[in-house]
Amino acid sequence: MAPQQKSKVLIIYTGGTIGMIQDPHSHSLKPFDFNALTAQIPELKKFDIELSSISFKKPIDSSNMHPTVWVEIANTIKTNYNKVDGFVVLHGSDTMSFTASSLSFMLQGLNKPIILTGSQLPIGIIRTDGKENIITAIEIAGAKHKGQPIVKEVCIYFEYKLYRGNRTIKYNSQHFDAFKSPNYPVLAEAGIEINYNKHALLKPKNKKLNVYTELNNDIAVLKLFPGISKKITQSILQTKGIRAVVMETFGAGNATTQDWFIDELKQTIKKGIVVLNVTQCQEGEVMQGKYETSAQLKKIGVIGGYDLTFEAAVTKLMFLLGQSKSTKEVIKQLQKNISGELTMV
């Protein structure tokens, strides 16, 4: 029986806290060369996985994340897709959920693991959470069963848990367990062994990778609060050139029923601008029509976002609008589960 070939994993370093090391003299933090990764994490030498790495020429803080960077990551994955068995993307945690969500839409037909991870403390700090995050992310990215990758989707691994990327939110800036997946089960938990929740893992139907790099960020956000004024609402909805509005509503998708507010939304929708309703709650979903305060929204053409996270809502719209789809087609696709981002009843 021929020996099983080693899995090959490519590490893509984009920037963020995980790639910072403390200068022993100035104590300031600076990015370090990931060619010296094994010097910082000698445990990696024990892996029966062939590792390679690519580092962005100019690592960026995740607060400066932009769709152009998502395109760069997607193209890097496309170029190396047939060379390796999985990918680990090292990324700042603040906007990691946006990047994971965007990549899940951009990389259609994905049949290999893309595991995003990072840390709350730089890898050069003694108490860093980065070492364990990288080690286990690599193990998951290289894991196979009967010659096939166990994970075939874009995920986030953080603090012993693997999440579907487009289901995550960053909810904590102080603790190591920085992420949650409010409306979808954890895909795996790392303890003595890595236990996969096989029923929750995405099972792709299309086996050919198609990479979509056209994104349109002409999107506005209208976050409701008690007492929001007409002039503020108008200033957002009447922004020149917008193609879509993500409206963050109360509870199960509820909003004020004041005449002026409904009229403003009506006028916006008549212009062919998509209005997508997502809840401000971390858990639960939009159920337009369940209460009187959301029935009118449904009636005038506001699109219910079900249990989409805000991050997934924004990036899904960027993806759909980038394909030059008509408003009618965008609306149709928003209500479909494209990459495991929605729980459809």
Closest-CA residue to 306 (of 335, 273, 265, 275): 335
How many residues are listed for the chain in this entry? 345
- Check 17, 128, 268, 279 and give the catalytic one: 17
Is 17 an active-site residue?
yes
Tell me the chain's radius of gyration from C-alpha atoms: 21
Rounded CA-CA distance 128/237 in Å is 44
Rounded CA-CA distance 29/76 in Å is 27
Burial bucket for residue 63 (CB in 10 Å: 0-12, 13-18, 19+): exposed
Give per-residue burial for 87-119: e unless 16+ CB within 10 Å, then b: bbbbbbbbbbbbbbbbbbbbbbebbbbbbbbbb
**Active centre residues (catalytic):** 17
